[in-house]
């Protein structure tokens, strides 16, 4: 993997963990403990995931166009 792919994978992993906390936070009491509203997580996390996917695929296609090998 290239550096850009590693960074994108890391970001997606972190956002995935945040998304899981957003979905299951009420059951686990994490939202109350962190003082975070569930709607705030959805409004913040979903756009970040979408943007991260877009950036990941743009960087990936750019790497493929240039013929850079891992």
Confidence at residue 35, expressed as pLDDT on a 0 to 100 scale: 67
Confidence at residue 22, expressed as pLDDT on a 0 to 100 scale: 63
68 sits in the region (left: phi over 0; alpha: psi -120 to 50; else beta) called beta
Tell me the pLDDT tens digit for each residue of 3-58: 888 888 888 888 777 776 666 655 556 566 666 666 666 677 777 778 888 888 88
Confidence at residue 33, expressed as pLDDT on a 0 to 100 scale: 65
Q: How far apart are the two ends of the chain, measured CA to CA in Å?
A: 6
Confidence at residue 28, expressed as pLDDT on a 0 to 100 scale: 57
CB 57 within 8 A of CB 12: no
CA nearest neighbour of 9 among 1, 18, 43: 1
């Amino acid at each position: 993997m290239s550096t850009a792919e590693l960074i994108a994978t890391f970001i997606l992993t972190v956002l995935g963990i945040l998304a899981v906390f957003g979905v299951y936070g009420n059951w686990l009491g994490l939202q109350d403990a962190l003082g975070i509203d569930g709607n705030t997580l959805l409004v913040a996390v979903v756009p970040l995931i979408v943007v991260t996917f877009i950036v990941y695929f743009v960087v990936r296609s750019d790497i493929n166009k240039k013929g850079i090998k891992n």
